[in-house]
């Protein structure tokens, strides 16, 4: 399973199918990170098994996009089809936000601003154990509103946690507005540089660029790393792209059919 290619289109398909079946939202947020998740689980993360203590860790700090991760865990073979079909079903471990009790989830998230502190702790643990494992944490841009983010940003830089790689899903949207209008975050690159992180701007929908950028990081010394991944909220589904509504909205039947067609799934 380790080398099984994960296709972003498969992730998107699962996001749409499961969101439609469960009649829940957060679709746009999950589509925003589909390519980042594809790069991580397809090419980057070194995980022989989700129980291996020396595996790379992954924290989805923007927990509301967990469906994209469930899709990857399914495509890796760590969740069964039966498992993923319980998304948002009574009694399931697969909720809108991820729970560590689920195989393949390292940390429970869903409260913004908590993932980076936990990831920094996980990176410090690896450092104390002289392990070469790395810790990846995917945060949202609006999550940078949280003060605790910057507490962890300072800690990681001070302790030179170069085994810590943050990825910012810079889609410019938050729950009920656009980030530029709610609380200005730009210039994001300069902010992280000022806190002494190693900053890389990437196209968050270019799997090859994400993969190659991470492969080139010096994870054994100096600074923690951040990929500022420019993304489109709702990427791949035209009527969702850059639309606030699709942070929470579920799809109607026609919207679902259109979405499938637009991501290239033949439903005929």
Quick one: 73 exposed, middle or buried, by C-beta within 10 A (0-12, 13-18, 19+)?
A: buried
Q: Is 50 in the site for other proteins (CB under 8 A)?
A: no
CA torsion 207-154-218-193 (nearest 10°) is 70
Number of C-beta neighbours around residue 101 at 10 A:
8
- Are the CB atoms for 229 and 171 separated by under 8 Å? no
Helix (H, G, I), strand (E, B) or coil at 173: strand
The partner residues of 178 in beta bridges, in order of sequence, read: 173
Q: Which of these ranges, 43-51, 148-156, 196-204, 257-265, lies near other proteins under the rule CB under 8 A?
A: 148-156
* CB 36, min distance to other proteins, A: 21
Query: To the nearest whole angstrom, how small is the minimum distance from the Cβ of residue 10 to other proteins?
Result: 29
**119 makes contact with other proteins (CB under 8 A):** yes
- Interface pick for other proteins out of 88, 93, 125, 175 (rule CB under 8 A): 125
Binding span for other proteins by CB under 8 A among 4-12, 24-32, 64-72, 155-163: 155-163
Q: Write out the binding residues for other proteins, residues 97-116 only, by CB under 8 A.
A: 100, 106-111, 113-114, 116
Of 121 and 250, nearer to other proteins (C-beta) is: 121
- Give the range of 39-47, 151-159, 182-190, 245-253 binding other proteins by CB under 8 A: 151-159
Of 88-96, 149-157, 184-192, 218-226, the window that binds other proteins (rule: CB under 8 A) is: 149-157
Based on the shown chain and the rule CB under 8 A, indicate whether residue 93 belongs to the binding site for other proteins. Answer: no
- The CA distance from 5 to 7, in Å, is 6
Asked if residue 126 lies in contact with residue 163, where contact means CB atoms within 8 angstroms, the answer is yes
121 near other proteins, rule: CB under 8 A:
yes
CA dihedral angle for residue 264, residue 175, residue 70, residue 249, rounded to 10 degrees: -60
Asked if 95 touches other proteins (CB under 8 A), the answer is no
Distance (Å, whole) CA 249 – CA 213? 34
Q: Which two tokens stand for residue 89?
A: 């079903």
Q: Tell me which residues touch other proteins (CB under 8 A).
A: 53, 57, 100, 106-111, 113-114, 116-126, 128-129, 135, 147-148, 151-152, 154-155, 158-159
């Amino acid at each position: 399973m380790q080398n099984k290619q994960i296709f972003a289109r498969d992730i998107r398909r699962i996001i749409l199918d499961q969101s439609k079946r469960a009649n829940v939202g957060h679709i746009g947020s999950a589509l925003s990170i589909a390519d980042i998740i594809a790069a991580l689980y397809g090419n980057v993360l070194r995980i022989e098994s989700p129980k291996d203590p020396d595996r790379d860790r992954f924290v989805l700090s923007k927990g509301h996009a967990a469906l994209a991760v469930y899709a990857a865990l399914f495509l890796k073979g760590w969740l069964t089809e039966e498992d993923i079909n319980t998304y948002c079903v009574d009694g399931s471990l697969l909720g809108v936000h991820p729970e560590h009790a689920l195989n393949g989830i390292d940390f429970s998230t869903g409260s913004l601003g908590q993932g980076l502190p936990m990831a920094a702790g996980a990176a410090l643990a690896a450092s104390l154990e002289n392990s070469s494992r790395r810790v990846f944490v995917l945060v949202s841009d609006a999550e940078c509103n949280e003060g605790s983010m910057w507490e962890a940003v300072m800690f990681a830089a001070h302790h030179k946690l170069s085994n810590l790689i943050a990825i910012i899903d810079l889609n410019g949207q938050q729950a009920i507005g656009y980030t530029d209008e709610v609380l200005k975050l730009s210039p994001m690159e300069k902010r992280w540089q000022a806190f002494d992180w190693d900053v890389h701007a990437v196209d968050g929908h270019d799997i090859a660029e994400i993969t190659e950028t991470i492969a080139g990081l010096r994870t054994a010394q100096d600074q923690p790393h951040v990929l500022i991944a420019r993304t489109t909220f709702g990427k791949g589904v035209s009527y969702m792209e850059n639309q606030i509504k699709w942070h929470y909205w579920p799809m109607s039947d026609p919207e679902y059919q259109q979405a499938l067609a637009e991501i290239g799934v033949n439903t005929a």
